[in-house]
Amino acid sequence: MVKALVTGGAGFIGSHLCDHLVSLGHEVVVLDDLSTGSPANLEHLPSVRFVHGSILDRALVDECVRGAGMVFHLAAAVGVHTILAEPLKSLRVNLHGTENVVEAAARHGVRYAVASSSEIYGKNDADGLHEDSDRILGSALKSRWSYAAAKGIDELVAVETSRASGVPCVVLRLFNIVGARQTGRYGMVLPRFVAQALAGEPITVHGDGSQRRCFGSVHDAVPAMTRLLDTSEAYGRAVNIGSREEISIEGLAHRVREITGSASEIRFVPYHEAYDPGFEDMRRRIPDLSLAARLIGYRPRYRLDDIIK
Ligand code: NAD
C-alpha cells in the first residue's frame, strides 16, 4: 500500500483515479479547491482523506506531498469557457500551482505524474499526433491558447525538475477523456450534448460541426495513468492517452440523439457567438497512441457508443 496524493481529486478524472487507486489498495489523499470539482464525486469513497485547499497554497501543498509515495497532479483551471473568461486565472493556477506541486514532489523525493493536454498540439491537425511533434504550441499565444501554453510550460517544469532532482515523473497528455461525472458546465461537449438531448432541448453544435475528435473513456485512461507512473521507461516522457475512434462533432450530436432516443433538434451556433470573435479550434485531433502501446500495452477497450450509454 502506498499513500497517493491526487490534486484535483474531486474532479471528473481525479475522482475516477481515486476509485482506481482505492481498488488497488492504496491510501488516497485529495487536495482540491472545489472550483470545478465536487465533494459528491468522492462520497462513495469514505477512506479517501479530503483536503479542501488550493495548489496555489505552497505550504499546504508541501504538507500534502510530505509522506506520500506518489503524486498525481490533476488540479487545473479547465474548460474553454473558464479559460476564455479568465485567461489570467487559468495561467496562474496552471503555472504556479503546478510549480508548487512539482517542487514539493522533488523536495520530498516522491514520484509524480502531471496531467497535460492534447491542446498543447495547438492547431496541428496531422493524422496521428505524435509526442515528438516539434510543432507544439506553434499557435499564436492568444487567450484561447493560455491553457495550452500553461500546460506546455507545465510539461517542461515537470520534466526538467525531474531531471535536476532525479525524482521520476511522467507527463500524461490526455485527449478528450469522457465518462460519468464530467459536467458540461465548462464547455465539455459530450456531457453538454447528453444533457441537452435528455432535456429535449436543442443540441448546440459550435461551428459547422465538421471538426473531428476522438473521445476516450475515463475507464481506459485511469489505469493507464497509474501504470505509466509504475513504468520506469516512461519516466521523463510525455505520453498520449485517449482513443483513435474519430467522429465529427455533428456526427457526435446525431449519435447522442439516437442513443438517448431524443427528438431534440441539432442547432449550429457560429464560433463567434459561442465563444469570442476570432475563436479558433482544431479541425481534427487524433492521437498517435503507439508510445503508450509500447510502454504499457495500452489499447482502449471502450467504444464511443458504450461511453455515451
Ligand atoms: P475537472 O474540472 O473535473 O477537474 C479539475 C479539478 O481541479 C477540479 O476538481 C477542481 O476543483 C480542481 N482545481 C482547480 N483549480 C484548483 C486549485 N487551484 N487548487 C486545487 N484544486 C483545483 O476536470 P478534468 O477533466 O477531470 O481534468 C483533470 C485534469 O486533466 C486537468 O489537469 C485537465 O487539464 C486535464 N485534462 C483533462 C482532459 C479531459 O478530456 N477531461 C483533457 C486534457 C487534459
ipTM of the complex: 0.99
What integer is the mean pLDDT of 51-79?
A: 97
Q: Find out whether the beta carbon of 32 lies less than 6 Å from any atom of ligand 1.
A: yes
List the end-to-end C-alpha distance of the chain, in Å, as a whole number.
34
134-138 contact pairs (CB < 8 A, 24+): none
* In the chain, domain spans: 3-175+218-242+286-302
Catalytic residue at 147?
yes
Closest atom of ligand 1 to CA, residue 10: 9
Hey, whose CA ends up nearest to atom 4 of ligand 1? 11
Of 37, 34, 147, nearest to 94 by C-alpha is 147
Q: Phi, psi (5° rounding) for residue 286?
A: -135, 125
The residue that leads in pLDDT, 59 or 82, is 59
User: If you measure from the C-alpha of residue 35 to the centroid of ligand 1, how many angstroms do you get, rounded to a whole number?
Assistant: 9
Return the beta strands (E) in the chain as ranges.
Answer: 3-7, 27-32, 49-52, 70-73, 111-117, 169-174, 177-178, 203-206, 212-214, 216-217, 238-241, 246-248, 266-269
Grid cell 475522482 is found at 15
CB 176 within 8 A of CB 214: yes
Q: Find out whether the beta carbon of 296 lies less than 6 Å from any atom of ligand 1.
A: no
pLDDT digits (tens, 9 = 90+) for 102-126: 999 999 999 999 999 998 887 766 6
User: If you measure from the C-alpha of residue 218 to the centroid of ligand 1, how many angstroms do you get, rounded to a whole number?
Assistant: 13
pLDDT at 44 over 90: yes
Q: Ligand 1, residues 36, 71, 88, 220: which to mutate, most atoms within 8 A of Cβ?
A: 36
Grid cell 517542487 is found at 103
Give the per-residue pLDDT at 138: 45
Of 296, 229, 177, nearest to 73 by C-alpha is 229
**Residue 12: alpha-carbon gap to chain centroid:** 9
* Least-confidence region, from 146-160, 225-239, 248-262: 146-160
For residue 228, list its beta bridge partners: none
Assigned fold of 3-175+218-242+286-302: Rossmann fold (3.40.50)
pLDDT at 12 over 90: yes
Closest atom of ligand 1 to CA, residue 55: 19
pLDDT at 201 over 80: yes
User: If you measure from the C-alpha of residue 11 to the centroid of ligand 1, how many angstroms do you get, rounded to a whole number?
Assistant: 6
Mean pLDDT of the chain: 92
What integer is the mean pLDDT of 194-222?
A: 96
Grid cell 478524472 is found at 13
pLDDT digits (tens, 9 = 90+) for 280-291: 677 888 999 999
Give the per-residue pLDDT at 279: 67
Q: Find out whether the beta carbon of 165 lies less than 6 Å from any atom of ligand 1.
A: no
The one catalytic residue in 121, 147, 186, 275 is 147
What would the grid cell of residue 52 be? 479542501
Strand, coil or helix: 283: coil
